Structure formats: C-alpha cells, structure tokens
Amino acid sequence: MSRHEIPARNPQHTVAVGWDNPLSTFFAQVSRPVDDEDEEDPIILWVGADRPREILTVEDLARCLAPFADLSPEMMERLRADRGAKLDQAPTQAQREAINFIRRSR
C-alpha cells in the first residue's frame, strides 16, 4: 500500500491518497483537525475503502477529490507507478481474510 499527503484547498484539512493493493483500488482520505469538544467525525471524505476495485483510475480518484484537492500530473504518475509496482504482489493471508470480511459485511 502506498500513501502520500497532498495539499488541500482548505489549509486546515489533510488529504492523503494512495494505492491499496489488497483491495486493488486507489483511495483518498480528507480529514480535519480533531477537536476534543467536537463530536463530529474528523474524516470528511474516505473513498476507496468500501469494496475491492472501487476506484480503478487516477482520473476517477481526481474527480472524487475535486472539491477538496487537485491531483497534480506528477502525483497522478506517482500513483500509477505505485499501482504498477504492487500489481504483482499477492495479498497476504491476513489481507485475504480482511477482504473476505469486508465482502461478508455488506
């Protein structure tokens, strides 16, 4: 799995993107600072974590992220390279069990 932080439109947000090899999907997570007095979830957006093969292209990932951040051409290439480097790595036993758990919980 890869994970990279990229600049957010809102400077108070944190944006992470990457490739999740066990789920065979790109992912993005947008979060805001945790405030102990605020009970709202700090995760604003989390895509690519619900099911295998949810987001297959960096272009689709960029569309999901558009309200929160831009994926630079350099980051798009980096994510493609991350995916290519991981494609020939089979999931571990623990990763296969996690995927099966996700599929059963739907």
pLDDT at residue 62 in the model: 98
pLDDT at residue 88 in the model: 62
Helix or strand (DSSP H, E) at 10: none
* Count of domains for the chain: 1
Query: Alpha-carbon distance 48 to 5, whole Å?
Result: 16
- Of the listed ranges 21-30, 67-76, 79-88, 91-100, the least confidently predicted one is 91-100
Q: Is the pLDDT of residue 32 over 80?
A: yes
Query: Alpha-carbon distance 105 to 26, whole Å?
Result: 21
Its domain, for residue 27, covers: 4-104
State the average pLDDT over residues 35-39: 78
Alpha-helical regions (H) of 1-106:
58-65, 73-86, 93-104
